[in-house]
A and B are shown apart, each in its own frame.
Chain A
Amino acid sequence: MTQTLEKPAPPADKSLSSRGGGATGDRVFAALCVTAGVAVLAILALILFTTTQQALPALRESGLGFFTGADWIANDPDGDGPAGPTFGARAFIFGTFVVSAVALVVAVPISIAIALFLTELAPRRLRAVAVTVIDLLAAVPSVVFGLWGILVVAPALVPVYDWLHGAVGGVPVLGSIFGPPVSSGRSFMTAGLILAIMIVPIITSISREVFNTVPSAHKQAAVALGATRWEMIKGAVMPHSFGGLVGGVMLGLGRAMGETIAVALTIGAATQITANVLQSGNALPSVIAQQFGESSGVHRSALIGLGVVLFVLTVIVNLLARVVVRRAEIRMKGTAK
């Protein structure tokens, strides 16, 4: 007995030690996987490199004015403007931020409230329904929101905008934010509202993950001290989740800045910088979508330049968001013993 244990018979079949081929198979497969992973890095680098290269002609022509100029004149049929085409992206950068700001102001409180509903309030059955609603909201293609926005929402909002302007038009700051509305209803405000609907799912899902990490001991402690549900949320849930929520909001901002089609249809396509959110304007991605088809030469190169600006802005926002979320995660795991 012991002898056989000490001296096991040599494997009858040599392939036993190398089932599934030799070490080569392993190395080839590992290399294949690494290549696939590195493809992500390669694509991101290529995006930045190739698009910047194509945008160079326009950048060379407009110089720094490409980022700071407020005029965007691709062709000038009546010839009363400047001699050549002028490309300045400032109005579109401004528009991108105005629309995103409107979207965030509307979407953030609603998304956080829905996340609170899902984690703290909802009975099990209602929770499943609410999750399905949010998932479906995320599944609707943006062009369908755009179609609905331009044909249904924008006309329907015109009387609302008229009333709003009439109601607060005389108040100093509000009067300039809600100035005279545009007659088509296609404005920063409309685009921002449509965007808000589209970013609710992403902010909700991240807030929900964040709220789920709050240790139930904290919540129970708050309730044991006599807190109402709202005081429990305010005192135990919110302080714990703040960092994660900031990250989620920034991810929503990144999504809002890059959203193209729904904004292109509902923002009204005007190149102007105005505090009046009831006026038409334009945003970086929507300009590209509207003008790319009819562009050529320097104009097309300038549109690709807008794409580079947009790419850099969204990558910065997304990286910052990831850093914030990760920090918050580490902190939450540190405290949630």
Chain B
Amino acid sequence: MSVVSPGAGAPNLSSGAISGRRRFSNHLATAFIALSVILAVIPLALVCYYVLAKGASVVSWEFLSSDVPRSPRREGGGIWPAIVGTLLITGAAALMAIPLGVLGAVYLNEYGKNRPLARVIRTMADVMTGVPSIVMGLFIYVAWVTQVGSQSGFAGALALGCLMLPIVIRTTEEILRLVPDDLRQASAALGARRWRTTVTVVLPAAVSGITSGAMLAVARAAGETAPLLATIGLVYTANYSLMEGNTALPMLIFRNAAQPFDPAQQRAWGAALALVVIVVAFTIIARVISSRFAIKDY
């Protein structure tokens, strides 16, 4: 019959009752977490600052449109051949890797599912994402350049394509998995064959996600240096053909960064700004596409 009333003897549940040691370790952990976030922002801010500040003082119309000087220590000159090379080689790589990667993802999600072969391919695609980019370059050097006999922009595109392929496969598969099964069943009920269903129903439903994944892969490939080292050779004037030697922005930066001469370092900063602008442009386009045209819930 007696109603227990809170008051004497009830535990104090307010936060003030936490012992000093526990409160201290809680605050310490929170402080460490906050510090870590700041520690991650600092290098990003510093890199952005240096690339913008040092790069902006170098970049001019003349810098962007001139040929690369033959000696890195010479003043003047520009980076136009490297811009052309980067766009050309990355574009060719995308043309090779994206269709192949999308088809591979279609296999994994529409045909393979959980079959042993599909599981092996899935694991190996993950492993391939982790293969160092320089190994891709050596592979294309061995398998293509030594067979054909010359370094070329096309060889560089092959190496970048190998790098992009697993990224495209895995991101595309993730997107295809989001396409509701109702769509496939509706299409099948209308009598469409499986390939017709895939090409006219599933892929269009997923096209925005696929595009954004592909753009991210392109952005990553555009900034890669290592696969190009052994494959694309070296030119000083713009080369619009894929079949001969070429150059690229990351290569230009790498070659100039280690030079003790001021003109070379200035050129490297300018090229870095151009490269970052290209990469960030691809990344932003990918984000806009994926946020604006996200898969709708049917």
Contact = CB atoms under 8 A, between A and B. Distances in A.
Interface in B28-85: 28-30, 32-37, 39-41, 43-44, 46-47, 50-51
A34 interface: yes
B147 to A, nearest CB: 10
A164 B64 CA distance: 43
Contacts of B28: 230
Given A150-B257, A318-B127, A136 B135 contact: no
A143 B229 CA distance: 12
B114 to A, nearest CB: 13
B283 interface: yes
Interface stretch (B102-110, B205-213, B235-243): B102-110
Contact of B131 (A32, A35, A109, A315): A315
Interface stretch (A37-45, A58-66, A76-84, A208-216): A37-45
A47 B136 CA distance: 8
Interface in B219-252: 219-220, 222-226, 229-230, 250
Contacts of A310: 132, 134-135
B257 A289 contact: no
Interface string A291-304: 01100000000011
Contacts of B35: 113
A143 B223 contact: yes
A36 B127 contact: no
Contacts of A97: none
Interface string A129-149: 010011111011111111110
Interface stretch (A172-180, A249-257, A327-335): A249-257
A228 interface: yes
Interface string A210-230: 000000000000000010111
Contacts of A255: 130
Contacts of B136: 47
A109 B136 CA distance: 31
A54 B192 contact: no
B175 to A, nearest CB: 16
Contact of B142 (A21, A54, A135, A229): A54
B33 A113 contact: yes
A18 B162 CA distance: 37
B30 A314 contact: no
B25 interface: yes
A21 B37 CA distance: 57
Interface stretch (A67-75, A258-266, A272-280): A258-266
A47 B257 contact: no
B179 interface: no
A322 B147 CA distance: 35
A37 B105 CA distance: 7
A33 B254 contact: no
A285 interface: yes
A26 B254 contact: no
Interface residues of B, number: 94
A215 B298 CA distance: 28
Contacts of A258: 130-135
A141 B250 contact: yes
A51 B12 CA distance: 70
B94 interface: no
Contacts of A337: none
Interface in A197-243: 197, 200, 204, 226, 228-231, 233
A270 B283 CA distance: 37
A33 B165 contact: no
Contacts of A254: 130
B214 interface: no
Name the prevailing secondary structure of the B interface residues.
helix
A285 B254 contact: no
Nearest to B220: A139
B26 A17 contact: no
A30 interface: yes
Contacts of A261: 225-226, 250, 254
B130 A19 contact: no
Which has the most chain A C-beta neighbours within 10 Å: B37, B41, B133?
Answer: B37
A260 B226 contact: yes
Nearest to B268: A147
Given A20-B193, A133-B44, A139-B280, A40 B103 contact: no
B135 A43 contact: no
B138 interface: yes
B1 to A, nearest CB: 30
Contact of B132 (A19, A37, A136, A285): A285
24 contacts: A19-B192, A25-B195, A38-B117, A40-B121, A40-B166, A43-B165, A46-B139, A47-B135, A47-B136, A50-B143, A117-B34, A117-B36, A136-B283, A143-B225, A143-B254, A143-B257, A150-B258, A228-B18, A229-B30, A233-B29, A258-B132, A259-B132, A261-B225, A310-B132
Q: 5 closest Cβ contacts across the A-B interface?
A: A141-B223, A258-B132, A20-B196, A29-B195, A113-B36
Interface of A: 16-21, 23, 25-26, 28-30, 32-41, 43-44, 46-47, 50-51, 53-54, 109-111, 113-114, 116-117, 121, 130, 133-137, 139-148, 150-152, 197, 200, 204, 226, 228-231, 233, 251, 254-255, 257-261, 264-265, 285, 288-289, 292-293, 303-304, 307, 310-311, 314-315, 317-319, 321-322
Given A33-B104, A140-B276, A147-B269, 18 more contacts: A16-B191, A21-B193, A21-B196, A26-B193, A29-B195, A36-B100, A38-B117, A109-B36, A113-B37, A114-B33, A130-B37, A230-B26, A231-B22, A231-B26, A258-B130, A261-B226, A265-B254, A310-B132
